[in-house]
Structure 1
Amino acid sequence: MDVVDARIERILRAAGDAPSVLNTQPWQVAVTGTTLTLRADRSRRLRHNDPQGREMFISCGAFLFNARVAARRESLTAVVTVLPDPDDDLLVAEVALEPGDDPNADELELSVAIGHRVTSRVPFDDQPLLTDVLVAIQRAADAEGASLHTVQPSDPSHAEVIGLVRRAEAIAAEDMAARDEEAAWTTSWPGRDDGIPERLLGRAPSNDDAPVRRYHASRGRELFERHSTLAVLTTAGDSPREWIAAGQALEHALLVAATYFVRASFATTVLENPTTRHDLRQALSLSAFPQMLMRLGNVPTPERSPRRTLGAATT
């Protein structure tokens, strides 16, 4: 490969470290010269748990943000056009990589954080995050056109949010098609490069007030923290364009969090059900649309979920 191709390869590898729903990695990228064409991969969409493709587009938005950050590390500027073709609903973005200035210290720090950002499904330290850390994380989401609302254990709405999470999970447990779909992405076999390995699912919480997603494949129970910070990512609208923006905002926030050694885990079942998603919006008096619910806290760096090879994600 020539120098430009080597840069693009590094950018794509970093972009592929983005979080995605159940580690489905629902993206495909075509490379033409120095232009990347990012498409959502419908074959990797969760048809029962994500029928509108909302979480698929959020995942692609996270990939897109990583590509932007990784480009700056290579002294390139990513000129992004989101949803460039109204007649092609799977064409997420076109990214033209143009020569740019050398990265500044903040850009380098974010690019390094890509390799440290890991989803954690184990108990966190039993304490809320410091205010200045939360402010930095919130500003990262703001920079991408979204907002991050925090819910502390002392907030009256905290218990209501947890109750909605448990209610959504109870409803989902009755949907055998959705359960089978989750099982397909949380089952391990040698050499698998997607999905969440069973060993990384963590144990189910033994306390009902734990803000943790319960997976049917989890083995055993464990007492989780009671005082971690909950955060809800919102956008003003609720269309694919906003979902892609939410993905970029999510990853920006998670990378900043990683610079403070803060990890996240996601409780998305409550947002996969239209009724409980609406009820969550009401419970928190949100004028905007909730796109992601997560808990944030400190924990030693866990093992990373597998990733597809570069060739498997590019065309």
Structure 2
Amino acid sequence: MSVQTIDRLTVTGLVSDATAAPSMHNAQPWLFRYAPGTGTITLSADLSRAMTHEDRDGRGLHVGCGAALLNLRVALAHLGRRPETTLLPDPAVPERLATVRIGSPTTTDALAELYPAIRERHTSRFPFTGRRIPPALRDTLGGAARLEGAELTFLSGPHLRSVLDLIADAEGYSLMDPDRNAERAGWTRNSGAGAMKDGVPEYAFGPRKRGGTAPARDFAGLDVVEGRPTADFEDRPQVALLSTAADEPADWLRAGQALERLLLVATGHGLTSSFATQALEWSDLRWLLRDPVSGSGHVQMVLRLGYGPRGPRTPRRSVHEVLTFES
């Protein structure tokens, strides 16, 4: 099979698109390496950005890297190249998460249609309106998740109330845990503190919640942000669980790809989104998030979806910090 290669400037653009993905606390725990001899981009975990308290098994790190992987595939498809992806290509090197070989030219990859949403998708920690997501669009989002090996389930009734309670409990537990609280604080930044390249800046915290039941995470923690407004959030939040059948590193990567694929679809349909990972960060609470009736699947992400203001753009590391080239 002939090797398909691209120039350095094009690779840089592809990785720039990949790094627009969301990640836990915007830690951006990824590294990329391009080998022109094989036409392959390797995605690895940047373990220096792992969270030893809030993400002890690295599940959240893998989900974030999976989201970046999906963006890379979309960007390659937009270029008219087929992305040939292998997850965990070397069991002896677990931090080597995936390889993407630049395949032959193609004009039929549906991923290419998602490309415009890569730069438009932003996490929004602001109140959403009461407008309900149409059933057909919910089905479309579920279909996007299934294409990547995951299931998306919108919650209602007692299960929704239970999940909202677990999220609130988990956030309270974290605030009382000095190690977790310090770790979270280490990934938040005051926007006036100078140039930023990672973490969650103060301007992206959103308002402090006054009322409502939406699971909006407060990155300010116990700190008081001067001039920060308060607002009422949704009383009927539209919350969905993203799950996989198994719970191994490859499943976490699939969940990340499913997450980003459905978020790009959602963005294209005018939806905004945020994440509620608090209960996922406690192993005993994560188990309780599952459907109490079916009890099937492993929850990988809790999403809040709806219609509202699109969140602000958050900082990203320079591509030159995360991309290297083989000679």
Return the TM-score normalized by structure 1: 0.94
Q: 1:139 aligns with which of 125, 143, 165?
A: 143
Deviates more, 1:168-177 or 1:282-291: 282-291
Deviates more, 1:112-121 or 1:2-11: 2-11
2:309: which partner in 1? 300
1:159 and 1:209 in contact (8 A); partners too: no
Amino acid across the alignment from 1:273: W
2:212 and 2:234 in contact (8 A); partners too: no
1:128 and 1:228 in contact (8 A); partners too: no
Q: 2:65 aligns with which of 50, 60, 69?
A: 60
1:249: which partner in 2? 258
Counterpart-to-counterpart distance in 2, 1:230 and 1:284: 18
Amino acid across the alignment from 1:100: P
Which runs of structure 2 are paired with 1:264-303 in the superposition (5 Å)?
Answer: 264-281=273-290, 283=292, 285-303=294-312
Counterpart-to-counterpart distance in 2, 1:20 and 1:298: 22
- 1:166-207, CA deviations, whole angstroms, 9 ceiling, x for partnerless residues? 111111111111111101111233111100101101123222
1:6: which partner in 2? 9
1:41: which partner in 2? 46
Counterpart-to-counterpart distance in 2, 1:195 and 1:114: 19
Counterpart-to-counterpart distance in 1, 2:274 and 2:111: 24
Counterpart-to-counterpart distance in 1, 2:47 and 2:237: 35
Q: CA deviation at 1:37?
A: 0.9
Counterpart-to-counterpart distance in 2, 1:101 and 1:77: 6
2:249: which partner in 1? 240
Task: Give the secondary structure class of the aligned counterpart of 2:272.
Answer: strand
Task: Give the secondary structure class of the aligned counterpart of 2:17.
Answer: helix
**Size of the alignment, in residue pairs?**
311
Deviates more, 1:273-282 or 1:115-124: 273-282
Unaligned runs of 5+ in 1: none
- 1:109-143, CA deviations, whole angstroms, 9 ceiling, x for partnerless residues? 30111111111000011232111111111100000
Residue 173 (structure 1) aligned with residue 182 (structure 2): no
Task: Give the secondary structure class of the aligned counterpart of 1:225.
Answer: coil
Counterpart-to-counterpart distance in 2, 1:140 and 1:190: 39
Amino acid across the alignment from 1:304: R
Unaligned runs of 5+ in 2: none
